A and B are shown apart, each in its own frame.
Chain A
Amino acid sequence: MKQEYTITVHTENHIGLLNRIAIIFSRRKINVQSMNTSPSEIPGIHRFTIVINESEEVVVKLIRQIEKQVEVLKARYNTNDEIIWQELALYKVSTDMIADKISVERLLREYGARAVVIRRDFVIFEVSGHREETERLVKFFEPHGLIEFVRTARVAITKSSQGFHQTLKEFEEKEPGTDRVVENKYLDKNEEVFSM
């Protein structure tokens, strides 16, 4: 059964890796719904958050292909109920429209919006939340004229309380790995790591 999966990949921060990961999906004609790259809690280690709609069987195979990449430390996947996630959206609307037709108070209260910029000619609002929440405000503005809209990729954190080190250990129990990574003594010591 297909459903939304969030794939989290911890990697070295190297040029070219984005492409290596992206082509694992495109080669199999899998549409990536969103992809985000960011730093992680470990200095020097990068984190990809990728959302796709696929069956678990396919996702497991993708995870193994991703992990096969030399510069990937760990890839894992979660269903939506295992993670906390957010997307951030920005909305540009005309100031006149806001002043004439809309209750700003309602906007802020009901939609959890925040005004980021207020100018004579336009106002920019920001909403963060799940897709439905950011989508709701689009629907709301649409009849009045939305000048510009943009939304980020999903960022997600697992509900389990341990960080990457611990999760990595747990995965090692179930999945293949070498002793070296289980006690990844290099993980906290970026300067001692063989890198370029």
Chain B
Amino acid sequence: MSSSQQDTAVLKKPVEEKKEKMISGSEAVMLSLLEEGVDTIFGYPGGAIMPIYDSLYDFSEKIKHILVRHEQGGIHAAQGFARSSGKVGVVFATSGPGATNLVTGLADALIDSTPVVCVTGQVFAHLLGTDAFQETDVINITTPVTKWNYQVTDASEICSVLAKAFYIAKSGRPGPVLIDITKNAQIQKIKYDGYSKCDHIRSYRPKPKIRNEYIVQAAELINKAERPFVIFGQGIILGKAENEFKAFLEKSGIPAAWTILGLSALPTDHPLNVGMLGMHGNYGPNVLTNECDVLIAIGMRFDDRVTGRLDKYAKQAKVVHLDIDPAEIDKNVKSTVPVWGDCKETLPMLTKLMEKRDHSKWVSRFKEYMKEEVQLVINDELNPSTEKMTMGEVINILNELTKGDAVIVTDVGQHQMVACRYARFTQSKSNITSGGLGTMGFALPAAIGAKFGAPDRTVVAIIGDGGFQMTLQELGTIMQSGVDVKILILNNEFLGMVRQWQQLFHDKRYSFVDITSPDFVMIAKGYGIDGQRVSDRTNLKAALKTMLDHKGSYLLEVMVGKENNVFPMVPQGCSVAEIRLK
């Protein structure tokens, strides 16, 4: 196959450079991607997208195509790429099963606001609705899980539709876009007279107009506050407003806590960084949410995993909510002052009006709670006296070795919460996790994408024994592409997070959480990836160092205590103030 492909490539005429020329719809796709600055595509071919792949063959010097092992892996990789690079991730998939395999990733990207453009092939336009081979109603299946989608049946639309797709995916609150292109449109010849980027759509308002009076009102509230508290999410990262955010904090002196998607927007050791919010967040931020007098929420959406029981959430506080998406304001928590707009712009406006304040007494309350948490939870997690290792001690040594400079990609479960709690970060866009959807199987492919998005950085995927088995076929992608991803499996021989809930809330009835695993190290070897398993603490540090120093990908499996739990915990249905330390 490959040699015959080469033959046809030789026979093909070189692409002409003239301004106005006849091209196929598929070439239009490729030219559009180049114009949008795309250099990496994650994809998987099939019947209905073959003309596009045929065209891609001619562009393979300009655009890198990463052949994944499953389309879900493709879109998760594109998500990882987008989140480590700040660019739009691009995915190719075929019709029918190829497209339906994207659905989980689309839902994940939508809820976590990740800019992704998926191009799917579709059957010929005249076959739509006939139950043709590999025909599915992709547009309707994906409508609830895309920011926008569109089916192209005429090649003359391709360039303008893709321009629109990229604009929508990355502007405002970012999200996934899917473009379904019928095969006839891929083949159809059209006149190409250049590409123009999209910079507006009359019905679409990515950035709400900033209302100055709200900025003024917010500033008044905050200046008067005795116990102001900032909680922030991914909006800071998506808005590229890390510096503006830091300036705001430092002038106002307000302590700040993060959601897991906001993690890494503020360096871990910043004096005003008081830790993590939510179900497995830190003690102080949760308890003091219900004691602050002004709660300033920035680029976050009050997810139930952050708020716990809503009718007991920050009832005493005035709420200032900064968000680019007006639909988020007053959705879960009623705001006293809504500050619509891009925080890159609203934060500096607010900072200007801030009185320089020092809230150190208030900040010290967080530190006191932290002391208690260290004593009762963190010490045992990071320096355990148990025979079995804990997840926390693994992360702790990892921090020591990476100095907080690595990109950490996590899957979903206990290891995710432990990694988010204890991993340290010095720079933004460094914590990549499936937050809103909680998609097991996310980490391995997302880490692959993250490495392509940030090739100069060390990328460590931290994954549970359960989640790894959901997308471990992507080891094939690592093998073939040669991408350098460090895989750290924290193996507790259980579907740990579910087991923890069963232990705490279902009388220890361990219903189907006892998961057996293959020999992960041997599997990695099968893919040509080096690795080792560590069961003994004395070898842990050396093993982590070997992993990090290894040239190329490496798999390290660490056996941890089977029935360790993640604490603190706000049990479902409880208020954040009712957080449990054990």
Binary per-residue interface labels of chain B (155-188) against chain A in the complex, 1 for a CB within 8 Å, 0 otherwise: 0010011001000100000000000000000000
Q: Which residues of B contact A16 (CB under 8 A)?
A: 139-140, 143, 149-151
User: B202–A181 contact, CB under 8 A?
Assistant: yes
User: B205–A180 contact, CB under 8 A?
Assistant: yes
User: B203–A73 contact, CB under 8 A?
Assistant: yes
Cross-interface CB contact of B208 among A15, A72, A177, A184, cutoff 8 Å: A177
A120, CB-defined interface residue at 8 Å: no
A165, CB-defined interface residue at 8 Å: no
Q: Which residues of B contact A176 (CB under 8 A)?
A: 205, 208-209, 211, 326, 340-341
Listed stretches A108-116, A135-143, A186-194; interface member:
A186-194
B325, CB-defined interface residue at 8 Å: yes
User: A60–B330 contact, CB under 8 A?
Assistant: yes
How distant is B91 from chain A, measured CB to nearest CB, in Å? 20
> At the interface, is chain A mostly helix, strand, loop or mixed?
mixed
Q: Which residues of B contact A73 (CB under 8 A)?
A: 202-203
Known: A68-B325, A176-B209, A179-B209. A27 touches B144 (CB 8 A): yes
Binary per-residue interface labels of chain B (126-162) against chain A in the complex, 1 for a CB within 8 Å, 0 otherwise: 0000000000000110011001111100000100110
In the bound complex, how far is the Cα of B201 from the Cα of A68, in angstroms? 13
B200, CB-defined interface residue at 8 Å: yes
Known: A65-B327, A67-B327, A176-B340. A72 touches B203 (CB 8 A): yes
User: B202–A196 contact, CB under 8 A?
Assistant: no
Q: How many A-B residue pairs have CB under 8 A?
A: 79
Binary per-residue interface labels of chain A (62-86) against chain B in the complex, 1 for a CB within 8 Å, 0 otherwise: 0011011011110000000000000
How distant is A22 from chain B, measured CB to nearest CB, in Å? 10
A119, CB-defined interface residue at 8 Å: no
User: A23–B144 contact, CB under 8 A?
Assistant: yes
User: B327–A178 contact, CB under 8 A?
Assistant: no
How distant is B47 from chain A, measured CB to nearest CB, in Å? 24
A2, CB-defined interface residue at 8 Å: no
Interface residues of A in 20-73 (CB under 8 A from B): 20, 23, 27, 60-61, 64-65, 67-68, 70-73
In the bound complex, how far is the Cα of B211 from the Cα of A187, in angstroms? 23
CB closest residue in chain B, given A24: B144
In the bound complex, how far is the Cα of B325 from the Cα of A23, in angstroms? 19
How distant is B86 from chain A, measured CB to nearest CB, in Å? 22
B198, CB-defined interface residue at 8 Å: yes
In the bound complex, how far is the Cα of B203 from the Cα of A27, in angstroms? 23
Q: How large is the interface on B (under 10, 10 to 19, 20 to 34, 35 or more residues)?
A: 20 to 34
In the bound complex, how far is the Cα of B331 from the Cα of A65, in angstroms? 10
Q: Which residues of B contact A181 (CB under 8 A)?
A: 202, 205
Cross-interface CB contact of A70 among B160, B201, B211, B326, cutoff 8 Å: B201
User: B139–A71 contact, CB under 8 A?
Assistant: no
In the bound complex, how far is the Cα of B148 from the Cα of A11, in angstroms? 14
User: B202–A186 contact, CB under 8 A?
Assistant: yes
Known: A19-B143, A20-B143. A64 touches B327 (CB 8 A): yes
In the bound complex, how far is the Cα of B201 from the Cα of A96, in angstroms? 58
In the bound complex, how far is the Cα of B207 from the Cα of A176, in angstroms? 9
Q: Which residues of B contact A67 (CB under 8 A)?
A: 326-327
Known: A61-B327, A64-B326, A64-B327. A178 touches B209 (CB 8 A): yes
B512, CB-defined interface residue at 8 Å: no
Q: Which residues of A contact B204 (CB under 8 A)?
A: 70-71
- Residue of A27, A70, A172, A182 with most chain B CB atoms under a 10 A cut-off: A70
In the bound complex, how far is the Cα of B163 from the Cα of A148, in angstroms? 50
A175, CB-defined interface residue at 8 Å: yes
In the bound complex, how far is the Cα of B147 from the Cα of A23, in angstroms? 13
CB closest residue in chain B, given A74: B203
A12, CB-defined interface residue at 8 Å: yes
Known: A193-B202, A194-B198. A177 touches B209 (CB 8 A): yes
How distant is A11 from chain B, measured CB to nearest CB, in Å? 7
How distant is A188 from chain B, measured CB to nearest CB, in Å? 11
In the bound complex, how far is the Cα of B150 from the Cα of A70, in angstroms? 12
User: A196–B201 contact, CB under 8 A?
Assistant: no
- Residue of B168, B205, B340 with most chain A CB atoms under a 10 A cut-off: B205
User: A196–B157 contact, CB under 8 A?
Assistant: yes
Binary per-residue interface labels of chain B (204-219) against chain A in the complex, 1 for a CB within 8 Å, 0 otherwise: 1111110100000000
User: B149–A180 contact, CB under 8 A?
Assistant: no
Known: A16-B143, A20-B143. A61 touches B331 (CB 8 A): yes
In the bound complex, how far is the Cα of B157 from the Cα of A194, in angstroms? 11
Q: Which residues of A contact B206 (CB under 8 A)?
A: 178
In the bound complex, how far is the Cα of B205 from the Cα of A72, in angstroms? 10
Interface residues of A in 144-196 (CB under 8 A from B): 172, 175-182, 184, 186-187, 193-194, 196
List 10 additional contacts besides A16-B140, A177-B208, A181-B205; criterion CB under 8 Å.
A11-B203, A15-B151, A61-B327, A64-B327, A64-B331, A73-B202, A73-B203, A172-B209, A179-B209, A194-B200
Q: Jot down 27 A-B pairs with beta carbons below 8 A, ordered by A.
A: A16-B150, A16-B151, A19-B143, A23-B143, A27-B144, A61-B327, A61-B331, A64-B326, A70-B147, A70-B168, A70-B203, A71-B201, A71-B203, A71-B204, A72-B203, A73-B202, A176-B205, A178-B208, A179-B209, A180-B202, A181-B202, A184-B202, A187-B202, A196-B150, A196-B157, A196-B161, A196-B164
Please give me the 10 A-B residue pairs with the lowest Cβ-Cβ distance, nearest first.
Answer: A176-B208, A64-B327, A176-B340, A186-B202, A73-B203, A176-B326, A70-B204, A70-B148, A196-B157, A178-B205
